[in-house]
A and B are shown apart, each in its own frame.
Chain A
Amino acid sequence: MHVVGALLALLAFAPLGVGALLLAGAWRLAAGVLRAGIALFVGLAAGAVALPPLLYLGLSPTLPVVLLLGALVLGAGVLVARRRPPRSDDRPVRIGPLGLLVIAGPVVLLAVDRVQTRISNYDAFSIWMLKARLLYRDGGWFLGALDHRAFAVQSIAPPVHREYPLGVPSLVAAVMHGSRGNVPDAALLYPVLLTGFAFVIWLVLEPRVPRLPLLAGLSLVLWLPVTRELGLAATGDLPLGVFFVAAALLLGIWFVEETPGTLPLVALLGAAALACKRDAIADCGVLAVLALVETARLRRPDLARRLAVALVLMFLTIVPWRVWVSVHHIRNQDVGIGNGHLSSNVHHLGWIVSRLWDFLVGRGYVGVAPLAAGLAALALVRTRQWRLPVSVLVFGAALFAALILVYLDATAALPYLVHYSGERTVFPLCLFSASILPLLLVRALRAGSDP
């Protein structure tokens, strides 16, 4: 019954997602099951963005609050959608039974294992699920879940990294109201997020990649050992990765086709990544800078203006979190930007790169990032169409460089920090690489029709 309750609680985010899709003008991007799955994924992203500020204001992350929020956004979405002129060129993407089967296999197995596996990851029980339990057990149906005793200094074992944003614990706490406090069942959030992410990959790649490579590429993403490990770990890394990479993929199609509705989704999904973990600040910073550079290169001030508005809104969502952390004097103890440690750590550069390289080619990622770089280079040489391969190379290199910069500026002991966190912090880069591999392969091996 706890599993059914958790799944129903996850479905409570669907109205929020439908409303967000309508508001964004992205309702007709997909149809059928694909649209439903993406609506839920977007609803969870909207929940991750909206629930923490509501927490700071005194509201609880409960199902009535989620449903009320969903009703408000859905109402606004319907009103906006009615006033929007209909488009005649809509050809929504659909997913067939074979695609669903390829996604369902790995995800259902992950869900079964997630429910049966105990919360045993150190970060999960000392940070993420501890916060979720505190948010679930404190407060009432509407008010009072954020007990400042628990998140402030009185306790001798408060949640580690209190300076992290509360997007993931808020989502889990809401789902725990369906699972009656059962944490492993509430962590079904992770397989559901992975399913939503697979739907986004399908939405982006289906019109661009032949069916067989697309199915195989989806399988690679969903069976990738680290994807599964992070789904079972129940930490903030998987939500951060899927929201961020979904934003990056949708930004890609917005640049190529200016697809209506995608830019607001990029902002929402980027904001959701920012609401999951502070690592996303560097990732989203890279995405924002490169996107602005691309609009400048295109000499399209109209695109630049729309993009700038979306990016400003995306980054504004972190203000409530930063204010709350600042007001409670919660300090970041290991990494940050502008700590002034760059010069003293710069001699570790080679060691950091080599250690991160070990993770990239380790058994968890099977080398998907270097493979994507190699295929991008091959596609560049072979097709002379430079936009996709160069974008992938520059984006991947910039993400990697930003990660190295963050490590170089660390205040904590570098060997410990890189060893402990390196495999997780390269996850967004590797997830992006794995997601884009089918498209790169099609270009590099000149399969299908030329674009």
Chain B
Amino acid sequence: MSTAAATAVAFAVAAALSFFVPRRLRSLLIAGVLVVPIALATPRFIRVERHNAAAGQGASLYSTPRPFRWHKANPDLLAGIVEHVPARDSVSIANGDLETGWLRWLAYVIAPRQLVEVPAHWTIVFDETPAQAGLHPAHAWAYDKDWLVER
């Protein structure tokens, strides 16, 4: 039986009992029946809530948030962008056939730096070297297979 159905049954029983229970005790009856959905639904949810909070503690600001599993997620790259790119600058993307969620996460983590389509002073290169992307960097930082390039 679902929580809502069990709650409905409890309310129906309380309504029926209210025809017999003395009026002065009906407040107690109401309080009891209002606690039923809390008792049925909340403990399980609180366990999940506490679990998520515990999982969040100590996690890197840049790591992929649960429950997402983006294939191209690269926390080190995100940390590198925040470290090297000034807050007001824009960043373009090369070879960036990215999952939408990962792109949104990238935009959130590096904000207020802007992700732009047009060439910019800073470029993120995915899955290839700056040379393969046709870039001639002044500086470049490698993060696994991805690069942050300053022209």
Contacts and interface: CB of A to CB of B under 8 A. Distances in A.
B34 to A, nearest CB: 4
A116 B18 CA distance: 44
Interface stretch (A65-73, A211-219, A292-300): A211-219
B4 A366 contact: yes
A117 B53 contact: yes
B45 A225 contact: yes
Interface string A146-170: 0101100011111010000000000
Given A112-B53, A156-B115, A228-B45, A442 B8 contact: no
The dominant DSSP class at the B interface is: helix
Contacts of B46: 109, 228
Given A118-B65, A216-B30, A366 B59 contact: no
Interface string B1-26: 01111011001001100100001001
A448 B111 contact: no
A133 B27 contact: no
Nearest to B111: A133
Contacts of A137: 87, 111-112
A444 B15 contact: yes
Nearest to A365: B4
Contacts of B2: 361, 363
A363 B7 CA distance: 11
B34 A216 contact: yes
Given A117-B53, A122-B101, A441 B34 contact: yes
Interface size, B (range) = 35 or more
Interface in A202-246: 210-213, 215-217, 219-220, 223-225, 228-229, 232
Contact of B115 (A155, A219, A446): A155
Nearest to A139: B112
Interface in A422-451: 437-438, 441-442, 444-448
Contacts of B7: 366-367, 371
Interface residues of A, number: 64
Contacts of A225: 41-42, 45
Given A366-B7, A441-B30, A160 B104 contact: yes
Given A212-B31, A220-B34, A447-B27, A125 B108 contact: yes
B56 A130 contact: no
B57 interface: yes
Nearest to A126: B104
Contacts of A445: 14-15, 18, 26, 29-30
13 contacts: A118-B59, A118-B65, A122-B101, A126-B107, A154-B114, A156-B116, A224-B42, A362-B4, A363-B3, A366-B4, A366-B37, A441-B33, A442-B30
